Structure 1
Amino acid sequence: METRAMKLVKHLLAAVLFVPALALANTGELQLDKAPVSMDGASLQHGAKLFVNYCLNCHGASGLRYNRLEDIGLSETMIKDNLMFTADKIGEQMKIALRRADGKAWFGAAPPDLTLIARTKESGADWLYTYLRSFYRDPNRPTGWNNIVFPNVGMPHVLWQLQGDQIGKVSEKDDGHGGKMKEIELELAKPGKLTVEEYDKSVADLVSFLVWMGEPMAEQRKAIGWWVLAFLAGLFVLSYALKKNYWRDIH
């Protein structure tokens, strides 16, 4: 069972993070889109590029060192020339210069480290994938942006140039209990540099990188797991044969 402290941590993380049309009722019921996570090298490399260029300005990833990016097919030269903007040595952590006090003053809460964000969120990749596609213009917010997944979010829409401007159309409908509930439907009012399909694919790549970053050894662990299961199966066969041979004369 979640404690009050655990719930508070989740809300703080979501508050400073970053849908074809997606609706959220005031009942708190949210429909999350399934994230098409891929561990393909090209997808992870594109996700790493997006992360460094759009996220690493405010959010660090101190649990990962730049040289680990070689695991997704990047050479040391490629990393140094294209991705190392916050460090001098390839073995350094992916940290940022933003101070927590400044982040709290600017956004209302210090931007969290994103190393494990895909694992700490309750719905993981699906939450992030939906969240990054559900920003809309809101002149009543300090940043000019709001978000359906997390209303009144403190973080601005850093990917707006890629996605474009979405607006939220507010309507009310019967909640089935004699009351009314508010529903917000998103509509793309001004296209960005990418088409809807291209933007969704880019967000999927970014989320895939965040998932990989949370556990870089996940794929190797799964592969090793199959070998372990095969070994145990072989050991069972040999153990059973030994048992049969040992008890042969007794029975």
Structure 2
Amino acid sequence: MEITALEFQRFQTFLKVASGISLADNKQYLVNNRLRPLLNEIGVDELDDLLSLIEAMPDDNLTMKVVEAMTTNETFWFRDSLHFHALEQKVVTELGEKGRISLWSAACSTGQEAFSLSLSIDKALRLINKRPTVQIVATDISEKNIDQAKQGVYTDIQLSRGLPNETKIDHFKGVRGGWQIADKHRSRVSFKSLNLINDFSDVGEFDVVFCRNVLIYFSMSTKIDILNRIAQRMKQGAYLFLSSSEQVPAEVKGLQIVRDSGCKYYRKR
């Protein structure tokens, strides 16, 4: 599929309006690679044909398929392991004194991050012999991802991406189609679809927020807006983890950087 400059600009505008995602000018190759299977599926040849189809017959399902194709990324268990080390060694130790710990996985993909949080907290609480109630809200823009995450079932290949074998043995059971995480962890996590550019004032208030590898899709102004609204959903003293390559812009107020054993995260003052 050959994409003209005008076609690409039209697609950039569509994607920005539909999802808030700002697609860089040098990403034409990504559009080509990600959308080709979808174009084949719906029987059109060119990007313009796809956009004209959406405009002529607005279809939320087709729009979501386009957004999902453009945001699908590899996901891993315990990705950026230093974050989970900090969660286990410092954050949970402190929060363990509370009767309830609330967490938000703000871009949970197919659930690996949310369940990694549950597994890490489980491990840390056993070490300090505390048993607070743990509640995790996990959101993602993709309804397809959320549907899979709710099942909690993963293939051997998916489990091989970062999950220790002993964790698989202790916390998963073999089912048709793969391995299902234990009910204890599934019951802790509430999955729902959410686009971060939309209002999320009713998502809850949290002690810990993981918002990793998603803000890179947005313009700086949108990123600042999202982070300011995330800060409003954080309790006093709560923790925010971004990906290791990201940082909170100066325009976002009330979050103080914490550097600990090679790990960087933020705390609400």
Over alpha carbons, which structure has the higher Rg?
A: 1
TM-score under structure 1 normalisation? Answer: 0.22
Q: Choose between structure 1 and 2 for higher RCO, CA contacts under 8 A separated by at least 6 residues.
A: 1
TM-score under structure 2 normalisation? Answer: 0.21
